[in-house]
């Protein structure tokens, strides 16, 4: 069986998200670099596999899949004992609630605040105009996270799930320029955030995602 | 066992999203109107159930769940006979891809347009048109990709309808009706138009055309 191939830029947010989950699950993968700065993800050859012209996509022994969260769900489903996707019906519903919270209540503002900090760090773009307004929105959202995380250890309950891991890229990027994730008035958010960013699967790719064949 | 209660607002696209799935799965439910003009969703009692102060949420015999897509998934999983979430691993993965496309490519670009209209309608606030025009252009660009996908398969995840198609419907209809006619029905995207039209003719959409309401019997 062929090694899973991850087609992407080594540094983009969604690639970091995917690689972190692959690492958590100890899945060997080959990174095939797509030079997004030169528009390699917009060529007709690329669009055949990912018609939106976005990274990443995977080729898992001939099975093509895109959208980082879908890729993460696909690989986690192959490793049910990881517990990253709960199977008990109510635990699963609360997991889906948590993944939806990440999408609707975290990513929009954390992405728009975090990405500018990250692009500046990479030397790709220096434009922090959108940051303050989005940090303000994120601040209010994190108050709701504090309420949830004061009652349970992780976003879906008391065990770690994909929902927590999905937050990593933008939570990490926002922290490049703001202390919003670790403020003392939100001790549970800080506790949860610090636990996530100390995970080896996140730290492994701080300098960019790379082919990983051994764990 | 108590009847499922859906707390929401009759014209909210997220409340609609849940109602459609309840109807598809033939689940009886009671609708409880949350008075949004009164900001009932910001009271401490409401925030206990939904800490983000958003609508809708459900109370399924004491089990509280929010986020419309999570509720939809819960209902579909409790009612596998509705066949809205494929079980075969590869079809399931393609369903997850489609569900992610819905949020990342459609909703992400539709949201600012819908929020601008809501601000105008409820708060009388005008928005800068130029960024909104740019968002609409982006949304239509994404729909051009949907056109390519839907030219090869009947629905967004494959040849069978899934939650991923249904999740699009409320906001697709809202944009088509209140923001820019032709976005979903233009002859320049015949497969998108076919797909959209098919979704609109489903009983689960027609049941709530005038707004979401409870259904005790199907």
Residue B1 scores a pLDDT above 90: no
Q: Cβ separation of A70 and B78 shorter than 8 Å?
A: no
pLDDT at B38: 86
A94 close contact with B: CB closer than 8 A = yes
- State both tokens at B37: 């003009």
pLDDT band at B182; cut points 50, 70, 90: very high
DSSP B189: S
pLDDT band at B122; cut points 50, 70, 90: confident
Spatial distance between the Cα atoms of B23 and B192, rounded to a whole number of angstroms:
23
pLDDT at A119: 95
Alpha carbon separation from B101 to A186, B135, B143, B195 (Å, rounded): 33, 16, 11, 16
Q: Cβ separation of A74 and B70 shorter than 8 Å?
A: no
Residue A1 scores a pLDDT above 80: no
Phi-psi region of A12 (alpha: psi -120 to 50; beta: other; left: phi over 0): beta
The CA distance from A57 to the nearest CA of chain B, in Å, is 10
Spatial distance between the Cα atoms of B113 and A195, rounded to a whole number of angstroms:
37
Of B52, B73, B149, the CB nearest to A105: B52
Spatial distance between the Cα atoms of B135 and B30, rounded to a whole number of angstroms:
36
Cis amide leading into A2 (omega within 30): no
Of B67, B104, B149, the CB nearest to A97: B67
pLDDT at B37: 83
Nearest of A27, A34, A30, A39 to residue A10 by alpha carbon: A34
Sign of CA dihedral A168, A40, B184, B83: negative
| ipTM of the complex in this document | 0.97
Strand pairing category for A4-8 and A29-33: parallel
Q: Cβ separation of B67 and A96 shorter than 8 Å?
A: yes
The CA distance from B134 to the nearest CA of chain A, in Å, is 16
Q: Average pLDDT in the A17-44 region?
A: 97
Query: For chains A and B, what is the number of CB pairs under 8 angstroms?
Result: 79
Q: Considering the entire predicted model, what is its pTM?
A: 0.97
The predicted-structure confidence for B44-81, as pLDDT tens digits, reads as follows 999 999 999 999 999 999 999 999 999 999 999 999 99
**CATH code reported for the domain at B4-83:** 3.40.30.10
Residue B123 scores a pLDDT above 90: no
Of A73, A93, A104, the CB nearest to B96: A73
Tell me phi and psi for residue B8, to 5 degrees. -170, -160
pLDDT at A123: 94
pLDDT at B206: 96
pLDDT at A175: 98
Nearest of B6, B11, B39 to residue B25 by alpha carbon: B6
Spatial distance between the Cα atoms of A105 and A164, rounded to a whole number of angstroms:
13
CB count within 10 Å of CB B185 equals 16
Q: Average pLDDT in the B125-130 region?
A: 91
Q: Average pLDDT in the A144-167 region?
A: 98
Q: Where are the domains of chain B?
A: 4-83, 89-202
B99 close contact with A: CB closer than 8 A = yes
Q: Of B86, B100, B162, which to mutate for an interface test with A (greatest number of A Cβ within 10 Å)?
A: B100
Cβ neighbours of residue A121 closer than 8 Å, sequence gap 6 or more: A176
A4 close contact with B: CB closer than 8 A = no
**CATH code reported for the domain at B89-202:** 1.20.1050.10
């Amino acid at each position: 069986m062929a090694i899973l191939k991850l087609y992407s830029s080594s540094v983009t947010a969604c690639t970091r998200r995917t690689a972190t989950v692959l690492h958590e699950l100890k899945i060997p993968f080959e990174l095939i670099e797509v030079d997004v700065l030169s528009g390699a993800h917009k060529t007709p050859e690329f669009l055949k596999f990912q018609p939106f012209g976005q990274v990443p996509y995977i080729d898992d022994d001939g099975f093509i899949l895109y959208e980082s969260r879908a890729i993460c769900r696909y690989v986690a489903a192959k490793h049910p004992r990881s517990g990253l996707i709960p199977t008990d019906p109510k635990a699963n519903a609360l997991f889906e609630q948590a993944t939806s919270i990440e999408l609707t209540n975290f990513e929009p503002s954390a992405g728009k605040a975090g990405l500018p900090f990250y692009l500046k760090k990479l030397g790709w773009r220096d434009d922090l105009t959108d940051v303050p307004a989005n940090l303000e929105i994120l601040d209010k959202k994190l108050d709701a996270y504090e309420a949830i995380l004061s009652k349970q250890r992780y976003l879906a309950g008391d065990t770690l799930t994909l929902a927590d891991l999905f937050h990593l890229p933008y939570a990490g990027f926002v922290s490049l320029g703001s202390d919003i994730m670790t403020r003392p008035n939100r001790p549970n958010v800080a506790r949860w955030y610090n636990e996530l960013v100390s995970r080896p699967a996140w730290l492994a790719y701080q300098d960019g995602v790379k082919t990983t064949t051994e764990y | 066992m108590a009847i499922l209660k859906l707390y929401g607002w009759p014209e909210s696209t997220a409340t609609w999203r849940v109602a459609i799935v309840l109807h598809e799965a033939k689940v009886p439910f009671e609708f409880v109107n949350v008075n949004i003009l009164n900001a009932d969703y910001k009271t401490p009692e409401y925030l206990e159930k939904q800490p983000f102060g958003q609508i809708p949420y459900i109370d399924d015999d004491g089990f509280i769940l929010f986020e419309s897509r999570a509720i939809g998934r819960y209902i579909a999983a409790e009612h596998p006979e509705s066949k809205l979430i494929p079980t075969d691993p590869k079809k399931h993965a393609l369903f997850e891809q489609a569900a992610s496309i819905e949020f990342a490519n459609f909703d992400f670009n539709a949201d600012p347009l819908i929020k601008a209209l809501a601000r105008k309608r409820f708060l009388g606030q005008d928005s800068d048109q130029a960024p909104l025009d740019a968002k609409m252009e982006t949304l239509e660009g994404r729909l051009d990709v949907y056109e390519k996908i839907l030219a090869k398969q009947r629905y967004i995840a494959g040849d069978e309808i899934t939650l991923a198609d249904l999740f699009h419907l409320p906001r697709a209809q809202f944009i088509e009706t209140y923001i820019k006619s032709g976005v979903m029905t233009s002859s320049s995207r015949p497969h998108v138009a076919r797909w959209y039209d098919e979704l609109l003719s489903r009983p689960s959409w027609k049941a709530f055309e005038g707004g979401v309401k409870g259904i005790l019997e199907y």
